[in-house]
């Protein structure tokens, strides 16, 4: 089957194509070079006047794992319907997740907080998300095994073997650390942990965990830098911790996630202020840092985090008044707290401004990924609105002028002139996340790549443009037309294949016998757990050894 | 059939996976890690795959056709049992949508207590490994442990297995009518604060008052084991990490209110120390269905399909009630892991998919024998704590289909509801 997408205005930052009129040819699910004048396409779409991009890639969205089901339980849909941005609400089903993402022209989603022992079930849940490719980041850094290794001054090579073993056992794409050592410390009743504080049982600092895991990721050749949810999330004054975290890895690439929640100062009458400027300045002068924003939007949502320590601390803000925190299997934890962001709240309005300040003050779009930390800052369905806020300064300032008055006075957002163009939007929603993840055949439109393609009809209202893609192709199949589902496909599960010495299983086996309620041999995800339903498919990516 | 080691067991919510099995004729003997539930489950020979329509032997396609006919004629079918693995749960949900049916797990009544409590107060929870390694004290209600999960004491309560307990025994305190089934040993110190089921909620309320140093009225002093509760409260204050564990089926009427009281007690204890709650759920794979149902519909069960809509009515949708009243006019029973929890004869047409057809003492309109996940076919089941899943294996060759295979055949014969898009 040969398909021709004729004459669209193409934005493909990976290839440096910046709004040029191009034809795109698709054969059997892949983009191919122009097959020449004799080629007769089976199907032709005239895309003159349309904007063409690769399918969107969301590298940080909570779409799978037990914590998402807890959120669904706490917020049954009659409550979710109160959400401002979508009737689906902030915690959609697996099916709705795929449909709503596809509608916006997204074709891949990555769950950034996979509890390793929950991997099998989380993959099976994500397997029920239609259209999308998917993948997961395995969480380490609060598991007793790693902390035990660090406390015993285990060699870096052994840590690397363990990290590699986890990537394979959980079929994950990357490694994430959440409140390094703090979730574990909370189990020993410690309520606060900063970068240089120690876990009470293991005597290990958060800094040491960051250094060790970021080095492991680099030495194993995992393309995606360590995904870091650092200490002190949401706490006024956490800017110091955030800056120290960015410096902690000594130049090793590191990705700070939902940065908005970590960019707070303590100035002003309320003791809460924006620290976006010094953080953006640091990022602008340090190429090893990448971030995603975790933008806040107003309305009902549900916060979902592995950071039990700070989610417990936040429980008094639960709205509605019900929340759950859990200690999970000597690996990590989770806290699920429903929350309503209000535009007339000083704090919430300033959080909204801080997110946008970060987007606008970080100069290099390749290192700022567009996220709301779905559903923590807002549902992913608010992305079109967020895109308009970035592209349209007068729209942004109109919205700003309706917020809490003192919050308006506490941000210099109104004076920020930058407006994202379509090329930059293509970077922060596709090209940058795909490149950061190490996906070479997604997030771009080069011949040889998968034909995951979104087509938009430009207009004055960029929110409307990006809410309903005109056409979406997934692996070459037309699945969405004018924002409506027209066909179904099932994406693949990406994972990163690294190498390790199998000897690590000896130490793991001993640890499993002591700590786990499960045998080591039953822990790893089996290929059939993902593929036996006849729809799922695993795609292994080769790591790149840099030394 | 071959011997097997480290075998995951799907027969209760504890999720043991350390079983050693010896092939023993048409079934397995559990040589290591045995308990009454696993011995029965693995010890049962595969039944004949013969399907029946109203007691008459038929080929599988005929039975499937008859199931389709009954479902097409039904106004509101009830899909129940639901003692199946992830794949079976997925197919059950597709069938219910296609047939515009209601759904309720065979443990729906007790299982929903936890869901209702979550939707009222939330909670703070722990998991089996955390409990094993950290909990210095366990309060146990609605169960003595072994009646729900036979190896609970051996695998999780024995303090000698706790990584952070320094070999100290664990204090396990039963509150209610359930007495300990075992005696003290070097790993467990049992205590029983006896009261009847109806009194347990008052005892918990009193315990919370004692912990928070709030006044109790005279009636409480007269009608509750107050001395023991006061002594318990004193000990609880000194605990660094404790767990509150309950057996959902033993909590009595209004169990959701009791679970809510337990969850809010645990939440409040965390202001000073660390505590977590844990339900001994998941028998007959209740938690497996709950997880799949949540990600598929947004609800944990007790729902019905109407067009594209999923209606969630946790207090109204009750399989036993609706089948008895005739409100539901056709029963689809999906088993595999139901063990001896077989359905009674309903007063409406019945389609029964079971791995235990020989134990059924009545003739359904359609009877289709199916395999046991974890014996006859591979699959996934979810443990009581909802977090860990087991990689169930195929251990023997049998001609019994998986529940999902049969359901998918039935689904293929049903029309797509007009209102369903795509």
For chain B, how many helices (H) and strands (E)? Answer: 13, 20
Q: Assign A76 a pLDDT band (cuts: 50, 70, 90).
A: confident
Say if CB A231 and CB A207 are below 8 A apart.
no
Using a CB-CB cut-off of 8 Å, the residues of chain B touching A74 are 118-119, 122
Among residues A422, A419, A439, A402, the alpha carbon closest in space to that of A110 is found at A439
CB contact under 8 A, A118 and B388: yes
Rounded to whole angstroms, the Cα distance separating A521 from B17 reads 9
B180: domain CATH number is 3.40.228.10
A226: β partners: A254
B267-309 residue pLDDT tens: 999 999 999 999 999 999 999 999 999 999 999 999 999 988 8
CB contact under 8 A, B129 and A521: no
For residue A129, how far is the Cα from the chain centroid?
Answer: 16
B166-180 residue pLDDT tens: 999 999 999 999 999
pLDDT score for B260: 97
The sign of the CA dihedral B265, B268, B272, B274 is positive
The answer to the question of residue B16 being in a domain is: no
B353-363 residue pLDDT tens: 999 999 999 99
CB contact under 8 A, B276 and A326: yes
A473-499 residue pLDDT tens: 999 999 999 999 999 999 999 999 999
Going from the C-alpha of B296 to that of each of B33, B91, B227, B289, B310, the distances in angstroms are 34, 11, 49, 10, 10
A69 vs B18, B122, B294: nearest CB: B294
Among residues B281, B312, B340, the one where a domain terminates is B281
The answer to the question of residue B23 being in a domain is: no
pLDDT score for A75: 87
Among residues A435, A436, A428, the alpha carbon closest in space to that of A449 is found at A435
Among residues B246, B262, B281, the one where a domain terminates is B281
A81-129 residue pLDDT tens: 554 444 456 799 999 999 999 999 999 999 999 999 999 999 999 999 9
For residue A348, how far is the Cα from the chain centroid?
Answer: 21
Residue B317, classified by CB atoms within 10 Å of its CB into exposed (0-12), middle (13-18) or buried (19+), is buried
Among residues B251, B281, B311, the one where a domain terminates is B281
Q: Let me know whether B306 and B201 are in one domain.
A: no
pLDDT score for A99: 96
β B102-105/B77-81 pair status: parallel
Q: How many domains does chain B have?
A: 2
- Domain hosting B103: range is 49-107+284-413
Which residue ranges of chain B lie beneath pLDDT 70? 418-422
B273 vs A120, A189, A485: nearest CB: A189
Rounded to whole angstroms, the Cα distance separating A47 from A40 reads 17
CB contact under 8 A, A73 and B119: yes
The answer to the question of residue B79 being in a domain is: yes
Q: Let me know whether B274 and B154 are in one domain.
A: yes
Helix segments in B253-301, DSSP class H: 255-269, 286-297
CB contact under 8 A, B15 and A518: yes
Phi, psi of B315 (to 5 degrees): -95, -15
pLDDT score for A262: 98
Say if CB A142 and CB A184 are below 8 A apart.
yes
CB contact under 8 A, A69 and B299: no
Q: E strand or H helix at A68, and its extent?
A: helix A66-74
pLDDT at A186 over 50: yes
**Interface mutation target, options A113, A121, A318, A477, chain B, most CBs of B under 10 Å:** A121
Instruction: Count CB pairs under 8 A between chains A and B.
Output: 159
Going from the C-alpha of A449 to that of each of A145, A240, A299, A443, B337, the distances in angstroms are 39, 42, 38, 9, 45
The sign of the CA dihedral B338, B344, B346, B351 is positive
Phi, psi of A445 (to 5 degrees): -120, 25
A313-338 residue pLDDT tens: 999 999 999 999 999 999 999 999 99
**Interface mutation target, options B149, B271, B388, chain A, most CBs of A under 10 Å:** B388
CB contact under 8 A, A522 and B6: yes
Using a CB-CB cut-off of 8 Å, the residues of chain A touching B17 are 518-519, 522
Rounded to whole angstroms, the Cα distance separating A532 from B392 reads 13
Say if CB A259 and CB A279 are below 8 A apart.
yes
Q: Let me know whether B198 and B256 are in one domain.
A: yes
Q: Let me know whether B409 and B312 are in one domain.
A: yes
Among residues B155, B274, B256, the alpha carbon closest in space to that of B201 is found at B256
CATH superfamily of A2-53+444-485: Urease, subunit C, domain 1 (2.30.40.10)
pLDDT score for A88: 56
Q: How far is B210 from chain A (nearest CA, A)?
A: 22
CB contact under 8 A, B378 and A528: yes
Question: DSSP 3-state helix, strand, coil percentages of chain A (rounded to 5)?
Answer: 35, 25, 40
The sign of the CA dihedral A384, A385, A389, A394 is positive
Q: How far is B370 from chain A (nearest CA, A)?
A: 18
β A332-341/A299-305 pair status: antiparallel
Phi, psi of B408 (to 5 degrees): -65, -35
Q: ipTM of the assembly?
A: 0.97
Closest chain B residue to A522, measured at CA: B391
Q: How far is A458 from chain B (nearest CA, A)?
A: 27
End-to-end, the C-alpha distance of chain B in Å comes to: 43
Q: How far is B240 from chain A (nearest CA, A)?
A: 7
pLDDT at A546 over 70: no
Q: How far is B219 from chain A (nearest CA, A)?
A: 32
Tokens of A27: 């054969």
The answer to the question of residue B421 being in a domain is: no
B246: β partners: B141, B279
pLDDT at A80 over 60: no
Say if CB B187 and CB B158 are below 8 A apart.
yes
Mean of all residue pLDDT scores within chain A: 96
Closest chain A residue to B269, measured at CA: A189
Tokens of A48: 């003159």
pLDDT score for B1: 81
Rounded to whole angstroms, the Cα distance separating A184 from A327 reads 9
Q: Once rounded to an integer, what is the mean pLDDT over residues A41-61?
A: 98
The answer to the question of residue B3 being in a domain is: no
Rounded to whole angstroms, the Cα distance separating A112 from A120 reads 15
For residue A335, how far is the Cα from the chain centroid?
Answer: 18
Using a CB-CB cut-off of 8 Å, the residues of chain A touching B386 are 66, 69
The ranges assigned to domains in chain A are: 2-53+444-485
Q: Above pLDDT 70, what percent of chain A? A: 97
Using a CB-CB cut-off of 8 Å, the residues of chain B touching A148 are none
Q: Let me know whether B94 and B123 are in one domain.
A: no
Using a CB-CB cut-off of 8 Å, the residues of chain B touching A516 are 129
The answer to the question of residue B85 being in a domain is: yes
Phi, psi of B350 (to 5 degrees): -130, 130
The answer to the question of residue B149 being in a domain is: yes
A246-300 residue pLDDT tens: 999 999 999 999 999 999 999 999 999 999 999 999 999 999 999 999 999 999 8
Q: How far is B106 from chain A (nearest CA, A)?
A: 20
B276 vs A69, A115, A327: nearest CB: A327
Using a CB-CB cut-off of 8 Å, the residues of chain A touching B121 are 321-322
For residue B67, how far is the Cα from the chain centroid?
Answer: 27
Q: What is the 8-class DSSP label of residue B215?
A: -
Tokens of B166: 């320094």
Residues 6+ apart with CB under 8 A from B125: A324, A325, A326, A327, B266, B276, B277, B278, B385
B28: β partners: B23
Using a CB-CB cut-off of 8 Å, the residues of chain A touching B20 are none
* Residue B165 exposure: Cα atoms within 13 Å on the Cβ side: 29
């Amino acid at each position: 089957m040969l398909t021709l997408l004729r004459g669209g205005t193409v934005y493909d930052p990976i290839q440096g194509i910046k709004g040029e009129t191009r034809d795109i040819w698709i054969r059997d699910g892949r983009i191919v070079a122009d097959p020449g004048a004799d080629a007769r396409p089976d199907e032709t779409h005239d895309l003159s006047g349309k904007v063409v991009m690769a399918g969107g890639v969301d590298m940080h969205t909570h779409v799978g794992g037990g914590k998402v089901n807890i959120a669904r339980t706490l917020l049954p849909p009659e409550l979710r319907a109160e959400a401002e941005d979508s009737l689906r609400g902030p915690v959609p089903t697996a099916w709705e997740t795929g449909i709503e993402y596809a509608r916006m022209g997204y074709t891949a989603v990555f769950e950034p907080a996979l509890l390793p022992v929950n991997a099998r079930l989380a993959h099976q849940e994500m397997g029920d998300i239609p259209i999308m490719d998917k993948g997961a980041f395995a969480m380490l850094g609060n598991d007793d095994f790693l902390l035990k290794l660090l406390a015993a001054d285990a060699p870096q090579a052994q840590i690397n073997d363990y990290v590699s073993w986890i990537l394979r056992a959980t079929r994950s794409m990357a490694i994430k650390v959440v409140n390094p050592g703090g979730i574990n410390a909370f189990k020993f009743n410690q309520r606060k942990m900063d970068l240089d504080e120690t876990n009470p049982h293991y005597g290990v600092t958060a800094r040491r965990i960051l250094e060790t895991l970021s080095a492991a990721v680099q030495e194993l050749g995992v393309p995606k830098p360590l995904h870091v949810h650092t200490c002190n999330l949401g706490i006024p004054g956490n800017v110091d911790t955030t800056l120290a975290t960015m410096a902690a890895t000594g130049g090793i690439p590191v990705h700070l996630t939902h940065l908005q929640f970590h960019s707070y100062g303590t100035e002003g009458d309320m003791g809460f202020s924006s620290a976006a400027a010094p953080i953006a300045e640091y990022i602008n002068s340090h190429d090893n840092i990448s971030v995603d924003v975790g933008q806040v939007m107003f309305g009902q949502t549900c916060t979902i985090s592995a950071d039990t320590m700070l989610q417990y601390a936040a429980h008094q803000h639960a709205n509605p008044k019900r929340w759950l925190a859990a200690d999970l299997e000597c690996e990590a934890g989770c806290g699920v707290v429903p929350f309503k962001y209000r535009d007339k709240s000083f704090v919430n309005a300033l959080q909204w401004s801080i997110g946008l300040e970060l987007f606008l003050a970080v100069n290099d779009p390749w290192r700022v990924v567009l996220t709301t930390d779905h559903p923590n800052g807002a549902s992913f369905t608010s992305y079109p609105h967020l895109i308009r806020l970035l592209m349209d300064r007068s729209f942004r300032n109109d919205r700003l002028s309706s917020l809490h008055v003192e919050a308006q006075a506490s941000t210099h957002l109104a004076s920020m002139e930058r407006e994202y163009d379509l090329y930059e939007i293509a970077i922060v929603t596709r090209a940058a996340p795909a490149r950061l993840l190490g996906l070479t055949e997604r997030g771009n439109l080069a011949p040889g790549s998968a034909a995951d393609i979104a087509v938009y009809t430009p207009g004055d209202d960029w929110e409307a443009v990006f809410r309903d893609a005109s056409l979406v192709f997934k692996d070459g199949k037309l699945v969405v037309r004018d924002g409506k589902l027209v066909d179904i496909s099932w994406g693949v599960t990406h994972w990163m294949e690294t190498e390790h010495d199998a000897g690590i299983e000896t130490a793991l086996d001993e640890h499993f016998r002591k700590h786990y309620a499960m045998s080591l041999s039953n822990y790893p995800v089996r290929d059939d757990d993902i593929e036996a339903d006849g729809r799922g498919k695993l795609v292994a990516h080769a790591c790149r050894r840099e030394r | 059939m071959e011997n097997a080691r480290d075998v995951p067991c799907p027969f209760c919510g504890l999720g043991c996976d350390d079983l050693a099995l010896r092939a023993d004729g048409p079934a397995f003997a559990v040589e290591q890690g045995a308990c009454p539930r696993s011995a029965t489950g693995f010890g049962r020979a595969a039944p004949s795959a013969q399907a029946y329509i109203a007691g008459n032997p038929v080929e599988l396609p005929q039975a499937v056709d008859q199931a389709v006919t009954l479902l097409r004629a039904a106004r509101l079918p009830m899909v129940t049992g639901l003692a199946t693995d992830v794949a079976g749960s997925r197919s059950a949900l597709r069938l219910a949508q296609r047939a515009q049916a209601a759904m309720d797990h065979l443990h729906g009544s007790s299982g929903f207590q936890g869901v209702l409590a979550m939707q009222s107060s939330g909670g703070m929870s722990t998991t089996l490994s955390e409990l094993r390694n950290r909990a210095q004290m366990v309060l146990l209600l609605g169960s003595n442990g072994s009646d729900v999960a036979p190896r609970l004491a051996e695998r999780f309560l024995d303090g000698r297995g706790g990584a952070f307990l320094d070999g100290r025994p664990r204090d396990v305190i039963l509150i209610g009518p359930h007495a300990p089934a075992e005696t003290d040993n070097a790993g467990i110190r049992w205590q029983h604060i006896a009261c009847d089921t109806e009194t347990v909620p008052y005892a918990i309320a009193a315990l919370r008052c004692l912990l928070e140093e709030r006044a109790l009225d005279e009636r409480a002093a007269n009608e509750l084991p107050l001395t023991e509760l006061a002594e318990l409260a004193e000990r609880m204050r000194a605990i660094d990490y404790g767990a509150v564990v309950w057996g959902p089926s033993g909590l009595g009427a209004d169990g959701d209110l009791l679970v809510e009281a337990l969850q809010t007690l645990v939440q409040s204890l965390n202001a000073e120390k660390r505590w977590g709650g844990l339900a001994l759920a998941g028998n007959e794979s209740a938690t497996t269905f709950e997880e799949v149902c949540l990600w598929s519909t947004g609800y944990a069960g007790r729902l019905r399909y109407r067009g594209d809509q999923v209606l969630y009515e946790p207090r109204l949708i009750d399989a036993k009630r609706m089948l008895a009243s005739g409100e539901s006019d056709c029963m689809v029973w999906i088993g595999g892991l139901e063990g001896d929890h077989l359905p009674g004869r309903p007063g409406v047409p019945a389609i029964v998919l079971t791995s235990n057809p020989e134990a059924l003492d009545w003739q359904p309109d359609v009877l289709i024998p199916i395999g046991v996940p974890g014996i006859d076919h591979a699959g996934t089941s979810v443990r009581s704590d909802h977090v860990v899943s087991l990689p169930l294996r195929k251990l023997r060759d049998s001609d019994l289909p998986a529940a999902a295979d049969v359901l998918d055949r039935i689904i293929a014969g049903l029309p797509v509801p007009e209102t369903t898009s795509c």
